């Protein structure tokens, strides 16, 4: 077994119960043998109790009692399976408009988004919404699964029409890599095994795609960014003067001896050592958690950032964002919120709401500027102290923020810096 | 195209994620504690905490909720590890609260102290003024856990409200709270049982002997093998016999099922887990009580 050399791929699935999303996930887990006998037995009993003839694979992904009672998925659920090539984490998100916030959550860390289309209905509003959110969250790879091909007699022209229809609107979106696969989650066509019913399809199965899609460049390896998360000072005799800056590399490749600039001070130093419990490292790169030691005795703290002199992030207090609102209480213009950005915490004020985006039509509404739960809009904010940021397009880690309500402490918005 | 070699294998990526979460706890909270059961998951969390703060010591104490129904091997391992790492150990005893009359023990054949852990845990958190407890729960364990957050918010009664959890995006974890409220943080949420075993093998981490094949006196109940131990009342027809077994999970004796297994090394265990057709919690009587047993227990403050 060579599992420890395998890579990790995170993907998100968006769709409603009707699209067969749960069946698709159940099928992937089942065919990848990630379902155990006791789980299968439990859902067989439930299927029987509900009067079904066949085992309902979608029951595998129903989590909480409230969800099972209503027969819907409310929250993001995480599923795991692996093949000899990769380990997979599925963020299974509900597809209905009122759960936009869950889709955004699941999408924030995904390498791949699966968008399900019912072959009988073609591209509908929900499809466009899912594709748009995948592009807004900059998921690097998008797979359009045209499902229920068994119900349209596995016809090639149905597939071609839906593909053309999708491309007609997706050119407006910021997605680099779109892939189409005709499937039947129920019957298992093109999920793990090649379909015997669609010889006209020359592409790969879904699992083959997930196992082989190139994710090596999904991180930013160019722009060196190291947000200081925690300062390690052992205060022991052995490590008397040790001062390590612990954190997770947010961008770039770091080596011992690199000349660095520190923000916000602007001081210069050099990397003396990249440390870990397993010994000194030659290099550090995303998404490694490491400890950096500098040659100069400086007193840095959490929320500061180590970068390179000739490649610095923006440093500003006035910031333009796309935001997705999560709270039942609408966003307050001129309201003040706590903001988390990398390891830095600040406060901010909402200075202007530029427009609200209709996520079905992509129309920018400049009249109705009330941003409520699940709404997406463009705003500008001012922060109490400068942030060290990149555009979200350039770096998903240094380009993202969350806003927190100062009264309830709830996370009320996700923001992507423009 | 430039050839890229900057790829992490998935165990290193999981390790980096967990270390990030543990450091985030140190940065955002005042008084953290690690829940330590002696099981492999809490052993893993403790190991990752060492890595997170190296070369400093783990800046949090360990908290063991002691049901009094422990396997001797668990306690031996615990005490040995605590002295090796130089960490502080706090013990919250279920027996003590039974003795003072604050808790009432279940009786009968299916009696277990598993449920009594919740009030003891909540009291220990209150007494220690801990504002966050790190635990080794994983999302692949159970369906109610599949929706759990890394940072799980609990109200002043320690309750989990599944509908009122904070969305978690990117690397941004919101640990803001009002006084009296606290958090449970689960750094190994994204690890599966197999991942844990693979990593323990790669890192050569010592484990309690209970996880490896040994001969033990057991008896069978509802298709499960339970240890023949004074803490479990046997029915007349439940005749004990010697069997070659090991434990897939380690918990309270009364509800931890053994599996017949010849696995004597980590490699054997990995092979066994990789080909196993049942989940590890399939051997836990506490999850068998009802379809939503875990969901209900979590709402009451179980971790």
B196: left (phi over 0), alpha (psi -120 to 50) or beta: alpha
Angstroms from B101 CA to nearest CA on chain A: 34
Contact residues, chain A, for B27 at CB < 8 Å: 229-230, 302, 343
Q: Do B147 and A63 touch (CB under 8 A)?
A: yes
Phi, psi (rounded to 5 degrees) for B19: -65, -40
pTM of the predicted model, to two decimals? 0.92
Contact residues, chain A, for B55 at CB < 8 Å: 232, 234, 236, 238-239, 242, 244, 275, 277
Is A105 at the interface with chain B, CB within 8 A? Answer: yes
Q: Which of B56, B162, B190 sits opposite A234 (nearest CB)?
A: B56
Is B3 at the interface with chain A, CB within 8 A? Answer: no
Which one of 3.10.20.70, 3.40.190.10, 3.40.50.2000, 3.40.50.620 gives the CATH number of domain B10-196+292-300?
3.40.50.620
Q: What residue spans in chain B does CATH classification 3.40.50.620 cover?
A: 10-196+292-300
Phi, psi (rounded to 5 degrees) for B15: -60, -45
Q: pLDDT per position in chain A (418 positions), as tens?
A: 344 578 999 999 877 666 778 788 888 888 777 777 777 777 777 777 777 666 676 666 655 555 555 555 567 888 898 888 899 999 988 767 667 888 898 899 999 999 999 999 999 888 888 899 999 999 999 999 999 999 999 999 999 999 999 999 888 888 889 999 999 998 899 999 999 999 999 999 999 999 999 988 789 999 999 999 999 999 888 898 899 999 999 999 999 999 999 999 999 999 999 999 999 999 999 999 999 999 999 999 999 999 999 999 999 999 999 999 999 999 999 999 999 999 999 999 999 999 999 987 889 999 999 999 989 999 999 999 999 999 999 999 999 999 999 999 999 999 999 9
Examine residue B55 and say whether the peptide bond preceding it is cis (omega within 30 degrees of 0).
yes
SS (H, E, C) A250-268: CECCEECCCEEEEECCCCE
Which residues does residue A417 pair with via DSSP β-bridges, in sequence order?
A321
Q: Which of A229, A288, A411 sits opposite B174 (nearest CB)?
A: A411
Q: Do A64 and B162 touch (CB under 8 A)?
A: yes
List, in order of start, the domains of chain A with CATH numbers.
Answer: 3-212 (3.40.50.300), 225-307 (2.40.30.10), 314-417 (2.40.30.10)
Is A77 at the interface with chain B, CB within 8 A? Answer: yes
For residue A168, the number of C-alpha atoms closer than 13 Å in the C-beta half-sphere is 10
Q: Which of B27, B162, B279 sits opposite A230 (nearest CB)?
A: B27
Contact residues, chain A, for B23 at CB < 8 Å: 229-230, 246-247, 289
Residues 89-148 of B with CB under 8 A from A: 139-140, 143-144, 146-147
Distance between CA atoms of B70 and B67, rounded to whole angstroms? 7
Q: Which of A38, A87, A102 sits opposite B279 (nearest CB)?
A: A38
User: Token pair of A147, please?
Assistant: 């499902």
Q: Which of B26, B171, B174 sits opposite A230 (nearest CB)?
A: B26
- Checking if the pLDDT of B295 tops 70, the result is no
Q: Coil, helix or strand for A86?
A: strand
pLDDT tens for residues A107-119? 999 999 999 999 9
Is B290 at the interface with chain A, CB within 8 A? Answer: no
pLDDT of residue B284: 55
- Strand segments (E) across A25-85: 77-82
A278-289 CB burial, b ≥16 within 10 A, e <16 = eeebeebbbbbb
Distance between CA atoms of A343 and A352, rounded to whole angstroms? 25
Q: Coil, helix or strand for A401?
A: strand
Is A275 at the interface with chain B, CB within 8 A? Answer: yes
Interface-testing mutation among B54, B150, B162, B167, with chain A (most A C-beta atoms within 10 A): B167
Distance between CA atoms of B195 and A263, rounded to whole angstroms? 38
């Amino acid at each position: 077994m060579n599992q420890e050399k395998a890579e990790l791929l995170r993907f998100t699935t968006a769709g409603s119960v009707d699209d067969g999303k749960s069946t698709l996930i159940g099928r992937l887990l089942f065919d990848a043998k990630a379902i155990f006998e006791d789980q299968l037995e439990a859902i067989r009993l439930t299927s029987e109790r509900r009067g079904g003839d066949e085992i309902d694979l979608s029951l595998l992904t129903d989590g909480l009692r409230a969800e099972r009672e209503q027969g819907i998925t409310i929250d993001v659920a995480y599923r795991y399976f692996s093949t000899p090539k990769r380990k997979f984490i599925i963020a299974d998100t509900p597809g209905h408009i009122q759960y936009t916030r869950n889709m955004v959550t699941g999408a924030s860390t995904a390498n791949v988004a699966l968008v399900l289309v019912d072959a009988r209905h073609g591209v509908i509003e929900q499809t466009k919404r899912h594709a748009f959110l995948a592009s807004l969250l900059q998921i690097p790879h998008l797979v359009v699964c045209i499902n229920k091909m068994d119900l349209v007699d596995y016809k090639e022209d149905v597939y071609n029409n839906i593909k053309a229809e999708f491309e007609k609107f997706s050119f407006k979106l910021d997605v680099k890599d779109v892939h189409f696969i005709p499937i039947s989650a129920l019957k298992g066509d093109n999920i793990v095994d090649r379909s015997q019913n669609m010889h006209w399809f020359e592409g790969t199965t879904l699992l083959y795609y997930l196992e082989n899609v190139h994710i090596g460049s999904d991180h930013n390896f160019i722009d060196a960014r190291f947000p200081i998360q925690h300062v390690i000072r052992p205060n022991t005799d052995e490590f008397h003067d040790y001062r390590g800056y612990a954190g997770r590399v947010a961008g770039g490749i770091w080596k011992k001896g690199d000349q660095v600039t520190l923000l916000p001070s602007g001081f210069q130093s050099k990397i003396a050592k990249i440390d870990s419990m397993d010994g000194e490292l030659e290099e550090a790169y995303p998404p490694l958690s490491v400890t950096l030691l500098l040659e100069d005795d400086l007193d840095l703290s959490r929320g500061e950032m180590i970068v390179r002199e000739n490649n610095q992030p923006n440093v500003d207090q006035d910031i333009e964002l796309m935001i997705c609102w999560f709270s039942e209480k609408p966003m307050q213009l001129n309201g003040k919120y706590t903001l988390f950005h990398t390891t830095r915490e600040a406060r901010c004020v909402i200075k202007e709401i530029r427009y609200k985006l209709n996520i079905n039509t992509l129309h920018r509404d400049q009249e109705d500027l009330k941003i409520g739960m699940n709404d997406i809009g463009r705003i500008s904010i001012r922060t109490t102290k400068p942030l060290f940021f990149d555009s979200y397009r350039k770096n998903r880690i240094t380009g993202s923020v969350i806003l927190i309500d100062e009264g309830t402490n709830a996370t009320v918005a996700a923001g992507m810096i423009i | 195209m430039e050839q890229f070699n900057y790829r992490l294998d998935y165990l290193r990526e999981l390790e980096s994620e967990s270390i990030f979460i543990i450091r985030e706890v140190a940065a955002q909270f005042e008084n953290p504690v690690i829940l330590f059961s002696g099981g492999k998951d809490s052993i893993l969390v403790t190991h990752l905490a060492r890595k997170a703060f190296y070369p400093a010591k783990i800046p949090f104490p360990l908290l063991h909720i002691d049901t009094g129904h422990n396997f001797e091997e668990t306690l031996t391992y615990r005490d040995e590890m605590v002295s090796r790492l130089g960490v502080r150990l706090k013990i919250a005893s279920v027996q003590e609260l039974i003795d003072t009359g604050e808790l009432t023990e279940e009786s009968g054949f299916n009696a277990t102290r598993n449920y009594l852990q919740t009030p003891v845990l909540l009291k220990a958190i209150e007494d220690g003024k801990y504002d966050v407890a790190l635990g080794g729960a994983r999302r692949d364990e159970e369906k109610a856990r599949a929706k759990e957050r890394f940072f799980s918010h609990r109200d002043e009664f320690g309750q989990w409200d599944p509908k009122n959890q904070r969305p978690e995006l990117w690397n941004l974890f919101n640990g803001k709270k009002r006084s009296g409220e606290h958090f449970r943080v689960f750094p190994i949420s994204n690890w599966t049982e197999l991942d844990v075993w693979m990593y323990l093998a790669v890192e050569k981490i010592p484990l309690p002997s209970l996880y490896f094949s040994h001969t033990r006196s057991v008896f069978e109940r509802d298709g499960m093998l339970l240890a023949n131990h004074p803490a479990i009342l046997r029915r007349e027809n439940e005749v004990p016999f010697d069997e070659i077994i090991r434990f897939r999970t380690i918990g309270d004796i009364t509800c931890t099922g053994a599996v017949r297994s010849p696995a004597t090394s980590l490699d054997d265990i990995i092979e066994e887990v990789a080909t196993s057709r049942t989940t590890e919690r399939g051997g836990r009587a506490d999850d068998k009580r009802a379809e939503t047993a875990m969901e209900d227990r979590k709402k009451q403050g179980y971790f």
